[in-house]
């Protein structure tokens, strides 16, 4: 049971990190029709700027300042590059962001080196947020912080006790993602700025005619979207590994999230990222293969068939393919995505 | 007239010198093909520093009086990139290559070297393998041009399981390995050996994960805990071991780890004080070998602020220096003929490059992660901890048979 909870929490926390990234991506896409290939690069810049600020000003300052700096970088890129290319259509826009992702990768390697840097979370976030104690007599209980050693060991050998601490960094990651989600929702639905953004999304000419500066709205949205990626970078970089390949590892997955969730749909991005996070985490846990499945159905398999290397593949081995399988299936059967509204 | 006489005298002297020590003063370029970028980059950069450090040391002392020069290539841990690096190395006149990280890479290099040597007589290349431990390289795929200075998985697992068989608290074992030839071999030999020595031990789970790709091992740790395993056997190295151990600490896993590469960059820090007495390493060396090795390790640490753990580097330079002196040449063909079967003294006593399969025969040490003390003082990555040997397997005990049918040239 505690295995289920811990795996669920692991999956949720990873899914929420993906959401922090994909929310910005989907926002930019729905506003500007730009598929920002460099989005994950802003995530990486966030992690590296966070790492540098962390060593000078401490983690909490880095957490606030790094996303802001990344947002400014993003807005500058929009103002100086993307806006000029905009008039040539979507393909040049796509290519510009594609090129940017390579430039960022090389620059990061030049500045911070080709290997991972040591970006440790602050002392307050080291150690567990809470501990699940599974006692075969008393059932499952929850202890905040680290559980005392005597709780985790039974005097009686017949009683099995398992303690599963849940790292505070992951708890913090979930908290920030949820706060960000609520903040974003309030901003879009409950403020005047949100109204203008929503209007600019569907009727840019009308909004412009009413005296709003639509290009500036675009720039702000791009800045906020990349800033959110930067925020995810600071948290993801300190929880996992800060290295030049970190953009590439999440880059392809967040596109899956955006497509599966529905282009331009925040709720869809949330659903899809949590789904993918949980599925990827749980897939690792299952050793069932086609062979075991068929044997479960009571089929008699020859030994050659049992040792067939394709049939023998377990779910945990194919786990990395699953998101992309999703992507293909969604594009075939529901091209607008799970919660998308427009056909793309 | 006087000038001419001097000239002749010098010429005679020089020829005499040449016939005695034809190779003396020559520069031997050694191509190093291993990762300097990516998750395994820190491991590679530690090892190239080790090679450069010892090239300098052995330039002063090697009996052949040759000058070793390292030519590093970053292969990004990819077999395809490594073959490009091999070509580039050949173009630069490199006749000796060293590689260690990834049996996947080593396998590709062995094949490429075999082909090259067959097609280009007179330009042969020797592959000195310092860490790739897939047993196939000295068995079914053995090659005359390949020499291994590490101990292969059949040897390490034999020693490791002999020790585990004596540990009564080992009851349920989980095998977690990297999904490529090395990881497959570790899992295979672990199952075979444990089945033979301790049939009562249950293998409660087995997993293969992609090499140098996983950033988050938490799902694997949750799975290991759910399986009820009290012991994990892993051949993981570099980031794959460091992040695994980090996830185990965060996930509250208290079982024991039997590893190959606890000493490799990153893992000591990830272990910290938490892993005391729970983590074992089987290898042909450990931090506190004593004698000259400790002095070198201290000097290395002072110079690079890094730990010296790839002791096979010392083997490589010892073996090259001696076989070049014996062969009176730096020609790889002549050196290979002397190197196979060569016995030499190295940091872990007298070792032998077995002629039948080119696997170095050497002692193995089982070491445990514990607090550094007076007896075992060396503390990696400022952890205050060390690897202390608990059991030594002499070379004749550690040795395993080979099925190699060596094809020798000519």
Domain boundaries, chain A: 2-121+170-247, 124-168
A243 inside 8 A of chain B by CB: yes
Mutate to test the interface with B, among A241, A283, A313, A319 (most CBs of B within 10 A): A241
Cα separation, B245 vs B224, whole angstroms: 12
Q: Which residue has the higher pLDDT, A248 or B132?
A: B132
Residues of A in contact with B45 (CB under 8 A): 115
Residues of B in contact with A14 (CB under 8 A): 216
State mean pLDDT over B271-287.
Answer: 91
Residues of B in contact with A115 (CB under 8 A): 36-38, 41-42, 45
CB contact under 8 A, B41 and A241: no
Residue appearing with tokens 């445990």: B368
Tell me: pLDDT of B1 over 60.
no
Give CATH for domain B15-151+291-361: 3.40.50.2300
Q: ipTM of the assembly?
A: 0.84
State mean pLDDT over A257-263.
Answer: 88
Q: Which residue has the higher pLDDT, A242 or B352?
A: B352
Tell me: pLDDT of A344 over 70.
no
Q: Given A164, A167, A245, which is nearest B38 (Cβ)?
A: A245
CA trace torsion B61, B66, B67, B72 (10° rounding)? -110
Give the gap in angstroms from C-alpha A147 to the nearest C-alpha of chain B: 10
pLDDT digits (tens, 9 = 90+) for B92-139: 999 999 999 999 999 999 999 999 999 999 999 999 999 999 999 999
Residue B58, classed as helix, strand or coil, is: helix
pLDDT digits (tens, 9 = 90+) for A59-107: 999 999 999 999 999 999 999 999 899 888 888 989 999 999 999 999 9
Residues 92-121 of A with CB under 8 A from B: 109, 114-116
Percent of chain B with pLDDT over 70: 95
A163 inside 8 A of chain B by CB: yes
How confident is residue A266, by pLDDT bands cut at 50, 70 and 90?
Answer: confident
CB contact under 8 A, A284 and B223: yes
Residue appearing with tokens 């091999």: B86
Cα separation, A224 vs A270, whole angstroms: 17
pLDDT of residue B79: 95
Tell me: pLDDT of B19 over 50.
no
pLDDT of residue B9: 53
Domain boundaries, chain B: 15-151+291-361, 154-288+363-398
User: Beta strand A161-167 with A128-135: parallel, antiparallel or unpaired?
Assistant: antiparallel
How confident is residue B17, by pLDDT bands cut at 50, 70 and 90?
Answer: very low
Q: Provide the number of CB pairs (under 8 Å) joining chain A to chain B.
A: 80
Residues 6+ apart with CB under 8 A from B357: B138, B139, B142, B402, B404, B406
Mutate to test the interface with A, among B252, B255, B382, B383 (most CBs of A within 10 A): B252
How confident is residue A246, by pLDDT bands cut at 50, 70 and 90?
Answer: confident
Q: B154-288+363-398 domain in CATH 3.40.50.2300?
A: yes
How confident is residue B295, by pLDDT bands cut at 50, 70 and 90?
Answer: very high
Give the gap in angstroms from C-alpha A164 to the nearest C-alpha of chain B: 6
State mean pLDDT over B215-231.
Answer: 91
pLDDT of residue B285: 95
List the single range of A65-69, A191-195, B170-174 with lowest mean pLDDT: A191-195
pTM to 2 decimal places: 0.87
Residues of A in contact with B267 (CB under 8 A): none
How confident is residue B5, by pLDDT bands cut at 50, 70 and 90?
Answer: low
């Amino acid at each position: 049971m505690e295995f289920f909870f811990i795996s669920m929490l692991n999956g949720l926390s990873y899914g929420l990190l993906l959401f922090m990234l994909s929310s910005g991506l989907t926002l930019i896409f729905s506003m500007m029709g730009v598929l920002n290939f460099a989005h994950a690069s802003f995530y990486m810049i966030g992690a590296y700027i966070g790492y540098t600020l962390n060593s000078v000003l401490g983690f909490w300052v880095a957490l606030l300042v790094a996303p802001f700096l990344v947002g400014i970088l993003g807005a500058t890129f929009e103002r100086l590059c993307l806006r000029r290319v905009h008039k040539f259509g979507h393909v040049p826009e796509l290519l510009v962001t594609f090129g940017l992702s390579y430039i960022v990768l090389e620059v990061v390697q030049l500045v911070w080196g080709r290997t991972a840097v040591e970006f440790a979370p602050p002392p307050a976030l080291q150690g567990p947020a809470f501990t699940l104690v599974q006692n075969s007599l008393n059932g499952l209980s929850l202890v905040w912080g680290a559980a005392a050693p005597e709780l985790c060991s039974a005097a009686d050998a017949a009683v099995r006790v398992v303690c599963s601490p849940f790292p505070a960094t992951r708890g913090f990651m979930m908290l920030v993602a949820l706060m960000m989600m609520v903040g974003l929702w309030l901003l879009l639905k409950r403020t005047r700025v949100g109204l203008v953004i929503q209007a600019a999304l569907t009727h840019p000419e009308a909004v412009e005619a009413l005296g709003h500066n639509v290009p500036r709205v675009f720039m702000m949205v791009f800045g906020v979207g990349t800033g959110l990626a930067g925020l995810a970078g600071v948290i993801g970089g300190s929880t996992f590994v800060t290295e030049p390949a970190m953009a590439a590892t999440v880059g392809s997955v967040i596109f899956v999230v955006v497509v599966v969730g529905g282009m331009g749909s925040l709720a869809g991005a949330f659903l899809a990222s949590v789904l993918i996070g949980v599925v990827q985490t749980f897939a690792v846990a299952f050793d069932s293969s086609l062979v075991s499945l068929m044997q479960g159905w009571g089929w008699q398999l020859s030994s050659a068939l049992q040792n067939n290397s394709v049939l023998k593949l377990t779910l945990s081995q194919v786990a990395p393919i699953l998101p992309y399988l999703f992507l293909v299936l969604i594009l075939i059967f529901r091209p607008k995505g799970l919660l998308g509204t427009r056909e793309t | 007239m006087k000038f001419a006489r001097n000239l002749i005298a010098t010429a005679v002297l020089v020829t005499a010198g040449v016939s005695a020590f034809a190779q003396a003063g020559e520069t031997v370029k050694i191509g190093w093909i291993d990762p300097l970028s990516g998750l395994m980059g820190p491991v590679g950069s530690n090892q190239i520093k080790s090679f450069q450090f010892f090239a300098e040391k052995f330039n002063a002392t090697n009996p052949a009086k040759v000058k070793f020069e390292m030519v590093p290539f970053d292969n990004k841990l990819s077999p395809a990139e490594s073959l490009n690096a091999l070509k580039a190395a050949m173009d630069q006149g490199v006749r000796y290559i060293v590689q260690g990280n990834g049996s996947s890479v080593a396998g590709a290099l062995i094949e490429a070297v075999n082909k090259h040597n067959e097609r280009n007589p007179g330009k042969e290349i020797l592959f000195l393998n310092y860490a790739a431990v897939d047993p196939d390289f000295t068995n079914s795929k053995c090659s005359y041009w390949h020499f291994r200075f590490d101990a292969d998985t059949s040897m390490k697992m034999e020693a490791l399981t002999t020790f585990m068989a004596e540990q009564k608290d080992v009851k349920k074992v989980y095998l977690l390995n990297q999904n490529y030839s090395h990881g497959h071999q570790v899992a295979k030999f672990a199952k075979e050996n444990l089945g033979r020595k301790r049939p009562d031990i249950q293998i409660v789970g087995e997993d293969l994960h992609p090499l140098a790709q996983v950033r988050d091992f938490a799902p694997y740790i949750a799975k290991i805990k759910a399986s009820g395993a009290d012991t994990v056997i892993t051949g993981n190295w570099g980031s794959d071991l460091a992040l695994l151990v980090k996830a185990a600490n965060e996930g509250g896993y208290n079982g024991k780890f039997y590893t190959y590469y606890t000493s490799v960059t990153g893992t000591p820090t990830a272990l910290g004080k938490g892993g005391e007495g729970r983590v074992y390493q089987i290898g042909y060396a450990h931090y506190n070998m004593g004698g000259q090795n400790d002095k070198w390790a201290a000097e290395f640490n002072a110079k690079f602020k890094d730990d010296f753990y790839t002791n096979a580097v010392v083997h490589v330079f010892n073996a090259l220096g001696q076989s070049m002196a014996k062969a009176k040449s730096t020609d790889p063909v002549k050196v290979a003929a002397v190197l196979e079967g060569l016995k030499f003294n190295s940091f872990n006593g007298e070792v032998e490059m077995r002629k039948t399969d080119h696997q170095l025969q050497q002692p193995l040490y089982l070491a445990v992660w514990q607090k550094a003390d007076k007896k075992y003082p060396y503390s990696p990555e400022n952890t205050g901890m060390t690897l202390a040997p608990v059991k030594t397997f002499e070379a004749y005990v550690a040795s395993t048979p080979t099925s190699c049918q060596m094809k020798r040239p000519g």
